[in-house]
Amino acid sequence: MLNKTIRVRVPGTSANCGPGFDAIGVACTIYNELELTFLEEQGIVIDIEGEGAGNIPRDERNIVVRSIRLILKRARMADKVQGFRIRMKNNIPLSRGLGSSAAAIVAGLKAANTLLDNRFSRRELLQMATDIEGHPDNVAPAIFGGFTVSVVTRGRVECFSLMPRMALKLVVAVPEFPLSTKLARSVLPQEVPLKDAVFNVSRAALLVAALLKGHPRFLRSALSDALHQPYREKLIPGMKDVFRAAHKAGALGASLSGAGPCLMAYALQDEEAVGEAMVKAFAQHGIEAHALQLAIDSHGARILKRH
């Protein structure tokens, strides 16, 4: 266990997926990698390259470190592992709604658990990750891959994952400004009208059914939302116009990715044209952006190398 190294890869994720607020998420083919070594000597060494390299803490505040500390505590190994070395290679943009914090949490838990001879199941890792993150909608797909549907009952997380019966492409417009989850949550009301609750329940059910049955024609309606997107729209200039541009270019539907500001379109084809149209629509509102053409990751967090 000590002085052994493990390398893991964790996908980025998009939460909410339209109407599935804090419940539905999807894993995307953009990845962070983490290399972890448990050391005999005390101290933490953290090397970071890629996204956030100049801003991510390199001490106990680092969310990867917090995740490792938690799993060591749960395994009653906190006294035996004196230190560790962490190397992070980040491709997931920070504070954009693509699950960068969830990927960091899951990477720390997955790597540490492997060095502990996998004493915790993926379901137990999901519970720990949710305890750290506060909700499961990003950490669940990061662990299991595919689309995930999660519920929390008295603090206990339940989740299942599925792959849709259609070859969906995920086109993400990434604006060049961050948006903190705290700010995005602060604009949400504490109570919503009954009609809005019914609107979302019906569309979340329709979304899952359309994915399972492979009926893409339902996605445009199924991705509509009344609980969070109307309130967050003011934080993302041109959001509705970007959605309209995606639809016009051939997307099946579009939604806010997580808390934003990324906007995600779902397509079966023409993903380059969809991405270009979304970027152009952002530019018309003075927002610089770039597009990512992604697919659905079906594996979730996985081990790349042991040595």
Q: Is 101 known to sit in a ligand binding site? A: yes
- CA dihedral for 154, 155, 161, 166, sign (positive or negative): positive
In three-state secondary structure terms, 244 is helix
Q: Is 95 known to sit in a ligand binding site? A: yes
**What is the 3-state secondary structure of 98-166?**
CCHHHHHHHHHHHHHHHHCCCCCCHHHHHHHHHHHHCCCCCHHHHHHCCEEEEEEECCEEEEEEECCCC
CA angle, corner 28, sides to 143 and 55, nearest 5?
A: 85
Instruction: Output the six-digit token pair for 5.
Output: 């190294």
Q: Is 104 known to sit in a ligand binding site? A: no
Tell me how far apart the alpha carbons of residues 22 and 135 are, in angstroms, rounded to a whole number. Answer: 7
R_g (Cα) of the chain, nearest Å: 19
Q: Is 258 known to sit in a ligand binding site? A: no
Closest of 121, 86, 106 to residue 9, by C-alpha: 106
Tell me how far apart the alpha carbons of residues 222 and 181 are, in angstroms, rounded to a whole number. Answer: 24
Q: Is 154 known to sit in a ligand binding site? A: no
Closest of 275, 158, 303, 287 to residue 235, by C-alpha: 287
Closest of 294, 10, 264, 28 to residue 148, by C-alpha: 28
Q: Is 268 known to sit in a ligand binding site? A: no
Q: Is 94 known to sit in a ligand binding site? A: yes
What one-letter code names the amino acid at 273?
Answer: A
CB 292 within 8 A of CB 174: yes
CB 149 within 8 A of CB 273: no
Q: Is 256 known to sit in a ligand binding site? A: no
Residues annotated within a binding site: 93-103
Residues annotated within a binding site for ATP: 93-103
